[in-house]
Structures are given as structure tokens and as C-alpha cells.
Amino acid sequence: MSKLRTISCFYLAGLLALGYACQTDTSETESLPPTTGVVAGVDTLTGLIAQGDYLLVKGNCLACHSSKLITQNRATREGWLRMIRWMQHKHGLQDLGDREGPILDYLAEHYAAGDETVRRQPLEVNWYELEQ
């Protein structure tokens, strides 16, 4: 009888150990940044400034390239319009319809020309003629 008890004891201990080992480890997923939401005024997934019509930009501008192309650029409203026309002409960007105005307003306000904190100015190079 005690042999049976020992065996069932080991059996139960084994089940417990198995249950413990099979627990899903959530520590890894918990340390990842959230994929949606706003932290410190910035959309966590795209890095876009989370103000105004940023969701229009998120929904219309990220099918082909990273949001970094947008957040690293600065331009006037006209400059942004030129880039949009260029993408429509050369890269199959769709007609944005009545979303174009709000998208341009957002870009011109939050990624405005004159903010030189992102891209350095072109180098001033004094070219010289090579002598033969």
C-alpha cells in the first residue's frame, strides 16, 4: 500500500512541475513598448506628434514607408503638397480627396519648415579644380 502512495506522490509532484513549466512567460511581452497609444504626446507606434489630425496621416501615409520619412522631414505647406504630388505622380499614392487639406494642415503645423532641429544644413563646400 505504501508503495502505491509513493508512486502517486511522485505522480502528483510531476504534474505540479509540468504545470509550472508550462505557464506562459509574460515577462517578455510586458517589457515591450505598447503598440497603440500616446506617450509624452507622441503616438507610440509611429512616433508622430499625437495632435490634430495625426490619425489621418497614420491611416494614409504609412502603407509604403516608415513614419520616420515624415517625422524627419520639415517643409512648408507648399513643400508638403509638392511631396504628396510627387508621390502621386511617381509612386502611386492615391488621391487623398478631402483628407488632403487636414493632412497638409497637420504636416505644416507639426513638421514645419524652419525647424532645423532635425536635419543639418547642407555643407558649404569650396570646390576647386583638379590640376591635370
Q: Environment class of residue 117 by beta-carbon count within 10 Å: exposed (0-12), middle (13-18) or buried (19+)?
A: exposed
Nearest to 41 by CA among 112, 110, 117: 110
The residue range among 10-18, 32-40, 57-65, 112-120 that interacts with ligand HEC, by the rule CB under 6 A, is 57-65
Please identify, among the stretches 4-12, 43-51, 58-66, 124-132, the one whose residues bind ligand HEC according to the rule CB under 6 A: 58-66
The C-alpha R_g of the chain, in whole angstroms, comes to 28
Counting contacts by CB under 6 A, is residue 63 touching ligand HEC? yes
Our finding on whether 87 is near ligand HEC (CB under 6 A) is yes
CB atoms inside a 10 Å sphere around CB 115: 10
13 touches ligand HEC (CB under 6 A):
no
Single residue of 41, 92, 114, 122 touching ligand HEC by CB under 6 A:
92
Tell whether residue 108 is a contact of ligand HEC (CB under 6 A). Answer: no
Backbone angles phi, psi at 39, to 5 degrees: -125, 130
Q: Which residue in the set 16, 17, 69, 118 belongs to the binding site for ligand HEC (CB under 6 A)?
A: 69
CA dihedral 77, 81, 82, 83 (to 10 degrees): 100
Closest residue to ligand HEC, Cβ-based? 61
Q: Count the neighbouring beta carbons within 10 Å of the beta carbon of residue 70.
A: 20
Name the residue nearer to ligand HEC (CB basis): 34 or 51.
51
